[in-house]
Amino acid sequence: MKDHLVIFDTTLRDGEQSPGASMTKEEKIRIAKQLEKLQVDVIEAGFPAASQGDFESVQAVASVVKDSTICGLARAVENDIVRAGEAIKAANSGRIHTFIATSPIHMEKKLRMSPDEVVERAVWAVKRARDFTDNVEFSPEDAGRSDLDFLCRVIEAVIDAGATTINIPDTVGYNVPHQFGQLFKNLLEKIPNSDKAIFSAHCHNDLGLAVANSLAAVRNGARQIECTINGLGERAGNTALEEVVMAVKTRQDIFDVDTRVNTREILAASRLVSSVTGFAVQPNKAIVGANAFAHESGIHQDGVLKHRETYEIMRAEDVGWNANKMVMGKHSGRNAFKTRLQELGMEFETEQELNEAFMRFKDLADRKHEIYDEDLQALVTDNNTQRVENEIYQLVSLKASSETGESPQAEVTMSVNGDEVSALASGSGVVDATFKAIESMVNSGATLQLYSVSNVTDGTDSMGDTAVRLEKGGRIVNGQGADTDIVTSSAKAYINALNKLMDSTQKAHPQAPV
Ligand code: KIV
Ligand code: ZN
């Protein structure tokens, strides 16, 4: 019998901490439903004390997801723990994840607390969290740079206080595999009550080692991995869920653990997270990149055709490639549309929203003959992103022209707080002209940090999924837009980012000093 490896997904919490990846409640619910389909064991749905919006998102996820444990993050302070406890109340199974830093540099420079005070606070936090749930996780933040004896002392104390999972974060991605593996071995051997808790690895990818470090931890006794879809996360990101899960599944000869993940849902999860956050997946990304299973060279193709395993260690269909290819078209009815969206985990709160989405679908079907699941996903994401609460700017119409030898031009009409305004601009290309026209009306003063368009499906009639990242005064936001016309999708993405920039909601960062 293999041990069960708990898959703890933190796309909605640590993943959301990537600059510009912040998600609305509806987006979090959609992703959480897909994570439930993927059968992850635990979904860290957010940091409820960050803002009222974050609290409500965790609460909403806790009430819709039934088959995964819902976790809320809390610093080791009263307000955070109470907020997390309240947010997970509706969950079938709820967990509070509380943490405090234990490395000398964090204790001295960030917390300004002595090691004794840190131990005392950690124990207090775990006991307080136990008032809300008996499923309590504790993390000694920056464990990867903490003193081993001190870590042992803190962990022994929090297990005695009632922590059931001990998560070991390599917060700054400093560790290397043999060292991180050894850390788990040491902790499990040295801590007298280590058998009373599950040990977990939480790795960041600053040196590109997050997955390798996580797997080294598993080889040395870790029985939970914290990870995100597509490795989303601050800086270089977190451990990629799809990579650890497939490594464990593919190399059953060396891992004495197994997960309950339904790997066929991996690609759908990857696409959903990418389209909601605007963080594109690089083509050569393991498992979910467009080239992950593509064989270019004749020798490889020949080998794969003769016997698949000559060059393939995994089956593309096992991670969801070539699945969900159900085609819809202009003759598909409202009911078929609604049913397929439900199967894809997308539901509408009101009939009116469904009707609007159906009209957009019909409009798309007039322009594109075959509509795949990816198109439906892009259509709904686009619909949601164009509905940012209290949005100030909306695209009304766009006319763009380009001609060899002439300067490309764009005329954009927008609604600004309900009033229509138009502007004409020229640029180096039609997209540049469109952005200049928009800027001439809004004068945002933001800097464009990223602009990318990816095709949702194959073919030149594909929808273009556009991501725009804007920065202003240190604040970074991502905007998305989707349309078969990439100039329109670009304008939508730019306007979506502007609306997010105007939203003044302040969020606390969990790792900032209290
Ligand atoms: O990286 C980290 O240390 C974290 C903690 C909050 C667990 O994300
Ligand atoms: Zn982290």
Per-residue pLDDT tens over the stretch 260-301: 999 999 999 998 999 888 888 988 999 999 889 876 566 666
Structurally, the chain folds into a number of domains equal to 3
**In this structure, are 432 and 372 located in the same domain?**
no
pTM to 2 decimal places: 0.87
Ligand 1 atom closest to the Cα of residue 167 is 7
Asked whether residue 268 is domain-assigned, the answer is yes
Q: Residues 125-146: pLDDT tens digits?
A: 999 999 999 999 999 999 999 9
Asked whether residue 299 is domain-assigned, the answer is no
Please check if 204 is assigned to a binding site. yes
**In this structure, are 214 and 357 located in the same domain?**
no
User: Could you say which residues of the chain have pLDDT below 50?
Assistant: 324
Residue 299 CA to residue 253 CA, distance in Å, equals 28
Task: Look at residue 20 in the predicted model and tell me its pLDDT.
Answer: 85
> Percentages helix, strand, coil for the chain, rounded to the nearest 5?
45, 20, 35
Asked whether residue 291 is domain-assigned, the answer is no
Q: Of the residues 231, 248, 277, which one is the last residue of a structural domain? A: 277
Q: Where are the alpha helices (DSSP H) in 322-465?
A: 334-343, 351-367, 373-385, 430-442
Ligand 1 probe mutation, 16, 141, 142, 167, most atoms within 8 A of CB: 141
How close is the Cα of 433 to the center of ligand 1, in Å?
A: 42
Asked whether residue 192 is domain-assigned, the answer is yes
Please check if 307 is assigned to a binding site. no
Q: Exposed, middle or buried by CB within 10 Å (0-12, 13-18, 19+), for 335?
A: exposed
Asked whether residue 286 is domain-assigned, the answer is no
How close is the Cα of 210 to the center of ligand 2, in Å?
A: 11
Interstrand relation of 419-426 and 409-416 (parallel, antiparallel or unpaired): antiparallel
Residue 6 CA to residue 392 CA, distance in Å, equals 43
Asked whether residue 327 is domain-assigned, the answer is no
| Nearest listed ligand to the Cα of residue 227 | 2
Three-state DSSP at 17 gives helix
**In this structure, are 63 and 202 located in the same domain?**
yes
Task: Look at residue 402 in the predicted model and tell me its pLDDT.
Answer: 94
**In this structure, are 410 and 342 located in the same domain?**
no
Q: Where are the alpha helices (DSSP H) in 177-318?
A: 177-190, 210-219, 241-250, 266-277, 298-306
Identify any residues that bridge with 400 across adjacent strands, giving them in sequence order.
410
Query: To which residue do tokens 């993927």 refer?
Result: 38
Please check if 97 is assigned to a binding site. no
Task: Look at residue 296 in the predicted model and tell me its pLDDT.
Answer: 59
Task: Look at residue 300 in the predicted model and tell me its pLDDT.
Answer: 65
Do 54 and 62 meet the contact criterion of CB atoms below 8 Å apart? Answer: no
Task: Look at residue 401 in the predicted model and tell me its pLDDT.
Answer: 96
**In this structure, are 456 and 352 located in the same domain?**
no
Which residues are CB-contacts of 188 (< 8 A; sequence separation ≥ 6)? 194, 199, 220, 221
**In this structure, are 467 and 431 located in the same domain?**
yes
Question: Computed over its alpha carbons, how large is the radius of gyration of the chain?
Answer: 24
**In this structure, are 363 and 422 located in the same domain?**
no
Q: Of the residues 385, 404, 423, which one is the last residue of a structural domain? A: 385
Asked whether residue 326 is domain-assigned, the answer is no
Q: Count other C-beta atoms under 10 Å from residue 179's C-beta.
A: 13
How close is the Cα of 202 to the center of ligand 2, in Å?
A: 6
Do 451 and 432 meet the contact criterion of CB atoms below 8 Å apart? Answer: no
**In this structure, are 494 and 470 located in the same domain?**
yes
Amino acid occupying residue 101: A
Residue 314 CA to residue 243 CA, distance in Å, equals 12
Q: Which domain holds residue 343?
A: 334-385
Among 209, 122, 199, 127, which residue's Cα sits nearest to residue 161?
127
How close is the Cα of 234 to the center of ligand 2, in Å?
A: 8
Q: Of the residues 277, 304, 322, which one is the last residue of a structural domain? A: 277
**In this structure, are 199 and 114 located in the same domain?**
yes
**In this structure, are 421 and 470 located in the same domain?**
yes
List the residue whose alpha carbon is closest to atom 5 of ligand 1: 141
Asked whether residue 23 is domain-assigned, the answer is yes
Residue 424 DSSP class: E
**In this structure, are 369 and 411 located in the same domain?**
no
Q: Taking CA 236 as the corner, what is the angle to CA 231 and CA 240, rounded to the nearest 5 degrees?
A: 15
**In this structure, are 143 and 125 located in the same domain?**
yes
